[in-house]
Every structure is written in structure tokens, then in C-alpha cells.
Amino acid sequence: MPGQASCGGTYAMRMTKAFGKTLREKPSEAEMASHELMVRAGLIAKLAAGIYDYLPLAWRSVRKIEDIMRREMDAIGGQEINMPVVNPADIWQESGRWYDIGPEMVRFKDRSGRDMCLAMTHEESVTDLARRYVDSYRQLPFVLYHIQTKFRDEPRSRGGLVRAREFIMKDAYSFHRDSEDLQRYYPHVCRAYERICNACGVPVVKVLSDVGMMGGNMAHEFTYLTDAGEDTLILCPECGYAANREVATFRKERAGTVGSELPKVGATEKVSTPGKNTIELVCDYLGVDPTASIKTMIYFPQGGEKPALVAIRGDLDINERKLANCLKTSEVRLATPEELEKFGLVQGYMSPVGLEGFTVVADDSLQEGSGYVAGANEKDFHLKNVVPGRDFKADVWADIASAREGAPCPVCGHPLDARRGIEVGNTFMLGTKYSASMGAYFRDEDGSLKPMVMGCYGMGVGRLLACIIQENRDEKGIIWPVTVAPYHVHLLSLGTSARVKDAAEGVYQRFNEGRVEVLYDDRDESAGVKFNDADLLGMPVRVTISERSLDRGGAEIKLRREKGSTIVPLEELYATVNRMIQEEFERYRQD
């Protein structure tokens, strides 16, 4: 069958022989629909928090998902390899990540005391491979990928396979002569990613994202939109702008502020504002709009040396991801009230005016306008007529504001939407972060030695499986897209009469010989149990054989995703079922 993944040569399975069972009730551990269904249908079993067994049905799907990934990665020049789960520490020390990454990476010593770790991703090992095998620009570009189990000791696993600690991931790495070549290649990966997700029945949107621990200069996420998601995306319904909230921008338009109406303001003026320790209270009290006020917070960068004083327009919120990025640190932490006290500051009355010893970071929203209200750095007092640049200087001017629903789109100005989603895959333009630090150089045409320019592209296999089920289901159970269904056909017999049994066995035989992927419910169960299990397990085509169907002339055929059914004579069953499967595949055909 075209485009059809094989499952190790096993086409048919009797339910009386199949390992696993279905659960009638919702397991207490499951919150998300996909998680509940995967446990109830006997797809996965939890061994520990975030650590799961994949049972036979799930594993068949996993292999089909992987084959779709292979097909698409091969189509854009990928070559599959496999890299070790266990890495020696030294390559991670070379890249620096041994020191940057926290306890989410599992570290241990081997018997001779050598530092080792469980690779949570494979930039280091693939870069090591590249530096040992590549000498010349003539060998570039190339793309390697592998599909492998990874372990990250997540602070909080959730949603079954959505966020597991041990998970299967497809990771691809491309190596280029220069960044232009990477930029030419990058869109091909993005297209492949969309094709993979679409082939699996999971719609995704491509959004701008933070580079995170990978480093590099540009990154996208491929996100499945669902309320059960854990990422927040900022989307423009008008022009298609899409970004993770971590990096999303927006137009900081001003609406009738004091500053814009009064280009020239006098010296700052200290005013009494007893008890007015929030933007809302102080603005109400002084009768000014929050857009004419300055919000000030103190943060400590990771490592915690010099604190940062962060100023932003009063109506906006600080985006800690953006702040961390512009402070060139991995994360930031808000100062506690006790720490503020040590600096002689009071929460609610702070401002950058007249303070020293801080890295002052100001949001670019404050670059325009003047005559702001800001804290006086004294309890119960604020300052009026504060002019950024005149009354305080910032060490860094940057966009550190958090985009939110309703803010104007940075591209077209239309109000933005905020949606939840699950990140299925990501693509990074890494640049030379790893090749330069690990010495992966090549000789270019002009004789010069250059670091290879890299891209890396990850996609979670188990997470995609969870998304497939989250998206393709109803109140009765899973509705597998045929492309990734464990079996294509669910054959069930009702009743114990020899007539029915013989007919069902005959059909099963015929399907088996014809290599139709069929799950045969040959159990001695009541009709209700069999139908409900068939709905729960969700194979695309259901074939029912019973006294009633035989009286009506054959077997009943029903698509899981549709309501109606038809009776087909037994002689025509094989051909009809094959045609229906073909038609189902057509629905997921790409291009």
C-alpha cells in the first residue's frame, strides 16, 4: 500500500492473544483527554513520574510516526544515524553546557570515576562526529538525523506523553558552509515538519520562539493549538503573525498620555502618595493614565552578582524571558521584599531616578514621552515630571514587555490573540555556537579555516502521538488517522454461533493473507463490550460480523469517524475494505 508504514511484518492480531487490556474508568492520574485515552486504551503504562511503557498498540503507532519522519527527513537529504544515550562529560564541557545546564541533565560517574551524562540532546555528539569526518567545503552541506530515547529530569512532568522525562525524539542536524546556505536549507525543514504533522493528523502553526538552551540566532516552534497546551502563543488573526509569548512583540502605541501632550516638562516634583503602592492606586490617586507612569522592579540574574533595576511603562508587564535574554543570562529572579530593604528600597515606591549600583534596564516603551509618574524611592512618595534620559540613564534599552491578548500586532496593528498550544517540534538556526567551541572547522575554497554553520531540528515522537490523540477523538475514544493507526481494521464477531464464527475466521484469514492490518476481536464478550472497545481503540475501519449482518447479506462496515454503516457481501469485503483504507490514506496525502 503506497505510503504505508510496515510494522515488522505483523499484520494481524487476535484480541484473545493481544497483550494489554482496556479500562472502563478514567484513571485518576490522567487529566488531559489524550492521557486518559492512552491509558484507558492500553497504549501506555506509567512506571514512574514521566516514565512510561509503550504497549503493543502504541508502539505500532510510534513506528509508523517514525517512518513518516524518516520519509520526510530523507526527502530533504537527511541521513539516519544513531548516537549514544550516554555521553562523556568532556564534549559537554567543550561546548560549555556541562556548566550551563542544571539538574535536568542526569550526571553520573562510570566505574573508573569518569564524569558521564545522559544526553538530553545531541549537538555535542553530532558536532564531534562532524569535526572528525569533515575537512573540506566539498563535504558540505549534509544533514544527519536520529530517532532516540532521551532523558531529561524535568522539574514537572505532566499530561502523560505530552511532557515526559523519558521520551523519544527525532533530532536532525544540518551542517553548512555559511549562514546563507543554512538559511536556504532552513525552509525545507520547516516544510518537512508541517508535512509530518499534517500526515499524522495534527494541525500545527509555526511560531517564532526563544532559542533557549540551544543558543543560536533564530528559532521556530511547530505548535499544535489546544486549550490543554502548556505554551502560550500570541497570534494575529489578520496577518498571520505568530510567536511564542516568550518572544512575542507588539506595538506600544500611546494613547493620550501626559508625556506626549507635554513635550517640555519642568523639574521632577515629589508628591505625597500615602499607601499608594501599586500602579493602579497611584495613578488613580494622582489622576494620570497608567501609560504615563513607570513601573520599576528589581531582578537578580542567574548567578546573582549585580542586581538589575528594570523599568517599564506602568500599563505593561515585564517578560522575564526577554529580560533574561537581554541580561545575557539563563534566568532571572525577582528580588524579595527583604532584599529590597537591604538596598533601602520599598516595593511600590521604586524608580530608576537617583539610584546607583544597579544595571538599569528600561523598556523601549519609555523612550518616547516624558513627564512620567515614578516612585521617589521613599515610602509614601512618588515623583512627577520624570523624563527618561534626563532624570535617569539606562544601561540597556530593550523590548522587555510581555505581549498579551488584545495588544496591537507588531506587523499590522490588529488586536492579537492569545492561544494555548503544545510544542511538537522546533527548529533552530544554531550558527557556529557548537562548531566554534568544539573545533568543527573545515577548509573553505579560498583556503581559510571556518567553523561549520549548523542548524538543529527536534521533534517529539511521543508528544506528537499524544497530540494525535488529543486532536482525533470523540467522547467514546480515539479516532486514529489511518496513517498512524496501530491497525487499519477492527474486525469483530458477535455471538458464538458456528455460522458467525466461521464467517469471521474466514474474513480474518483472507485479510491476513492479503496483508490487511487487522485487529480481530475474537473474544467471548457481549456486543456492547466489543463495540465500546472498538470505539475506544479507534481503528479507522470497523467490520462487524453477526447473525444479523449475515442475514442482511454479509458484514457491516463502518468508518470510525463517520456515523453510518453499510452491509457488504463477504466475497466483496476484502476489496471494499482495501478501497476504504486507500481512500482514508488519500485524506492525509501531502502536496
Range 292-321, binding RNA (CB under 7 A) = 320-321
Min dist CB 77 to RNA, Å, is 23
Binding of RNA at residue 532 (CB under 7 A)? yes
- Report, in angstroms and rounded to the nearest whole number, the Rg of the chain calculated over CA atoms: 30
Q: With CB under 7 A as the contact rule, which of the stretches 348-356, 360-368, 445-453, 532-540 interacts with RNA?
A: 532-540
Range 553-572, binding RNA (CB under 7 A) = 556, 565
Residue 102 · residue 153 · CB < 8 Å:
no
Range 31-70, binding RNA (CB under 7 A) = 31-32, 40, 46, 48-50
Binding mask 147-186 for RNA (x = CB under 7 A): -----x-xxxxxx---xxx-x-x-----------------
Query: Measuring CA to CA, how many Å separate 341 from each of 305, 322, 535?
Result: 17, 26, 62
Question: Which H or E run includes 520?
Answer: strand 518-521
Binding test (CB under 7 A) with RNA, winner from 24, 114, 390, 587: 24
Single-letter residue type at 282: V
Of 28 and 112, the one with the shorter C-beta distance to RNA is: 28
Min dist CB 111 to RNA, Å, is 25
Binding mask 415-444 for RNA (x = CB under 7 A): --------x--x------------------
At 99, list the grid cell.
556548566
At 48, list the grid cell.
514512574
Binding mask 190-229 for RNA (x = CB under 7 A): --------------------x-xxx------x--------
Min dist CB 197 to RNA, Å, is 14
Binding test (CB under 7 A) with RNA, winner from 494, 516, 539, 573: 494
At 233, list the grid cell.
502563543
Helix (H, G, I), strand (E, B) or coil at 112: coil
Tell me the number of residues near RNA by CB under 7 A.
67
At 303, list the grid cell.
548567578
Q: With CB under 7 A as the contact rule, which of the stretches 137-145, 304-312, 348-356, 520-528 interacts with RNA?
A: 520-528
Binding test (CB under 7 A) with RNA, winner from 67, 123, 128, 231: 231
Query: Measuring CA to CA, how many Å separate 485 from each of 22, 58, 138, 273, 464?
Result: 17, 9, 42, 66, 13
Binding of RNA at residue 524 (CB under 7 A)? yes
Distance separating alpha carbons of residues 23 and 41, to the nearest angstrom: 7
Using CA atoms in the order 500, 504, 509, 510, what is the torsion angle rounded to 10 degrees? 110
Phi-psi map region of 275: left, alpha, beta (phi>0 left; psi -120 to 50 alpha): left
Single-letter residue type at 315: D
Distance separating alpha carbons of residues 79 and 143, to the nearest angstrom: 6
Residue 518 · residue 489 · CB < 8 Å:
yes
Min dist CB 148 to RNA, Å, is 13
Binding test (CB under 7 A) with RNA, winner from 6, 16, 29, 84: 29
Of 17 and 156, the one with the shorter C-beta distance to RNA is: 156
Binding of RNA at residue 273 (CB under 7 A)? no
Alpha helices in 420-559 (DSSP H): 433-438, 461-471, 498-513, 527-537, 547-551
Find residue 381's DSSP bridge partners. Answer: 272, 378
Find residue 108's DSSP bridge partners. Answer: 116
Of 252 and 490, the one with the shorter C-beta distance to RNA is: 490
Distance separating alpha carbons of residues 142 and 151, to the nearest angstrom: 27
Helix (H, G, I), strand (E, B) or coil at 285: helix
Distance separating alpha carbons of residues 478 and 505, to the nearest angstrom: 26
Of 157 and 472, the one with the shorter C-beta distance to RNA is: 157
Min dist CB 72 to RNA, Å, is 19
Min dist CB 213 to RNA, Å, is 4
Q: Which residues contact RNA by CB under 7 A?
A: 22-29, 31-32, 40, 46, 48-50, 104, 152, 154-159, 163-165, 167, 169, 210, 212-214, 221, 230-231, 320-321, 330-331, 423, 426, 458, 460, 463, 476, 494-496, 524-529, 531-536, 544, 546-549, 556, 565
